[in-house]
Amino acid sequence: MLSSALRRIAKEELSHRVLSDGGVADRPQGKFRIDATAWAIITLSALNESPALIDRCRARLRSEQGDDGRIWVSRDNPDTFWPTALTVLAWQDSSACMDAQKRAVKFLLDTTGVHYSSRFSEVAGHDPGLKGWPWVANTHSWVEPTVLGVMALTAAGYGRHERVQEALRMIEDRQLPHGGWNYGNTFVFGRELRPMPESTGTALTGLAGHVDAGMVARSLDYLQGEINSMRTPVSLGWGLLGLAAWGQSPTNGLMLVERCLANQSRYGEYDTSSFCLLVLGGLAAEPERGRQLWFVPDAHQSGPVVQ
Amino acid sequence: MVAHQGTTSSSGMTRRQLLLAGAVGAAVGAGLLAVPRRYFRTPQQSRTFVTKVDHYQLNIAESIKLGIRELGIAPEELRDKRILLKPNLVETASGAPHINTHPLVLRGAIEAFLGLGAAVVAVAEGPGHRRDSLAVYEESGLAEVLTEDKIRFHDLNYMAGYQLLNAGRQSSLRTLTFPDVFKEMDWIVSVAKMKTHHIAGATLSMKNLFGVMPGIYYGWPKNVLHHAGVENSILDINATLKPHFAIVDGIVGMEGDGPILGDPKKAGVLVMGRNLPSVDATCCRIMGIDPYKISYLERADNWLGPISEGAIEQRGEAITSVRTNFSLIESIPAHRGLRLA
User: Can you tell me the mean pLDDT for A32-49?
Assistant: 95
pLDDT tens for each residue of A247-267: 999 999 999 999 999 999 999
Residue B197 predicted with pLDDT over 80: yes
Nearest to B134 among A142, A144, A267 (CB): A267
- HEC per residue, A15-52: HHHECCCCCEECCCCCCECHHHHHHHHHHHHHHCCCHH
Residue B178, chain A, CB below 8 Å: the answer is no
User: With bands split at pLDDT 50, 70 and 90, how would you rate the model's confidence at A292?
Assistant: low
User: Can you tell me the mean pLDDT for B39-50?
Assistant: 90
Instruction: Identify the pLDDT of residue A290.
Output: 43
In B109-148, which positions are buried (b, 16+ CB within 10 angstroms) versus exposed (e)? Answer: bbbbbbebebebbbbbbbbbbbbbbbbbbbbbbbbebbee
Instruction: Identify the pLDDT of residue A306.
Output: 41
The closest of B112, B152, B103, B145 to B251, measured between CA atoms, is: B103
User: Can you tell me the mean pLDDT for B298-314?
Assistant: 97
Residue B6 predicted with pLDDT over 90: no
Using a CB-CB distance cutoff of 8 angstroms, which residues of chain B are in contact with residue A191?
Answer: 257, 261
> A192 by DSSP, 3-state: which?
strand
Number of Cβ atoms within 10 Å of the Cβ of A266: 16
Q: How far is A234 from chain B (nearest CA, A)?
A: 6
Instruction: Identify the pLDDT of residue A286.
Output: 83
User: Can you tell me the mean pLDDT for B252-267?
Assistant: 97
User: Can you tell me the mean pLDDT for A66-86?
Assistant: 97
Q: Can you give the pTM of this predicted structure?
A: 0.92
Query: Does the distance separating the beta carbons of B153 and A267 come in below 8 Å?
Result: yes
pLDDT tens for each residue of B183-195: 999 999 999 999 9
Angstrom distance (rounded) from CA A262 to CA A265: 6
Query: Does the distance separating the beta carbons of B132 and A267 come in below 8 Å?
Result: no
Size of the A and B interface in Cβ pairs below 8 Å:
105
User: Can you tell me the mean pLDDT for A46-54?
Assistant: 92
- Supply the Cα-derived Rg of chain B in whole angstroms: 23
Instruction: Identify the pLDDT of residue A289.
Output: 59
Inter-helix orientation angle A51-63/A83-90, to 10°: 140
Angstrom distance (rounded) from CA A204 to CA A197: 10
Instruction: Identify the pLDDT of residue A189.
Output: 87
Nearest to A194 among B91, B160, B198 (CB): B91
Residue A248, chain B, CB below 8 Å: the answer is no
Angstrom distance (rounded) from CA A180 to CA A188: 16
In A268-283, which positions are buried (b, 16+ CB within 10 angstroms) versus exposed (e)? Answer: ebbbbbbbbbbbbbbb
Residue B214 predicted with pLDDT over 50: yes
pLDDT tens for each residue of B119-151: 999 999 999 999 999 999 999 999 999 999 999
The closest of A262, A222, A251 to A239, measured between CA atoms, is: A222
Instruction: Identify the pLDDT of residue B314.
Output: 97
> B196 by DSSP, 3-state: which?
strand
B13-27, B162-176, B235-249: the lowest-pLDDT one: B13-27
Q: How far is A281 from chain B (nearest CA, A)?
A: 15
User: With bands split at pLDDT 50, 70 and 90, how would you rate the model's confidence at B40?
Assistant: confident
Angstrom distance (rounded) from CA B289 to CA B49: 18
Residue B260 predicted with pLDDT over 90: yes
- Supply the Cα-derived Rg of chain A in whole angstroms: 18
Nearest chain A alpha carbon to B331: A189
Instruction: Identify the pLDDT of residue B25.
Output: 62
Instruction: Identify the pLDDT of residue B5.
Output: 34
Q: Contact, B179 vs B236, CB < 8 A?
A: no
Query: Does the distance separating the beta carbons of A271 and B155 come in below 8 Å?
Result: yes
Instruction: Identify the pLDDT of residue A243.
Output: 95
User: Can you tell me the mean pLDDT for A282-300?
Assistant: 67
Q: Tell me the domains of chain B and their CATH numbers.
A: 48-335 (3.40.50.11440)
Residue A164 predicted with pLDDT over 60: yes
User: Can you tell me the mean pLDDT for B22-34?
Assistant: 61
Q: Contact, A128 vs A118, CB < 8 A?
A: yes
pLDDT tens for each residue of A98-132: 999 999 999 999 999 999 886 666 567 899 999 99
Q: Is the dihedral of CA A207, A210, A212, A215 positive or negative?
A: negative
User: Can you tell me the mean pLDDT for A132-157?
Assistant: 97
Q: How far is A70 from chain B (nearest CA, A)?
A: 15
Number of Cβ atoms within 10 Å of the Cβ of B9: 10
Query: Does the distance separating the beta carbons of B129 and A233 come in below 8 Å?
Result: no
pLDDT tens for each residue of B70-127: 999 999 999 999 999 999 999 999 999 999 999 999 999 999 999 999 999 999 999 9
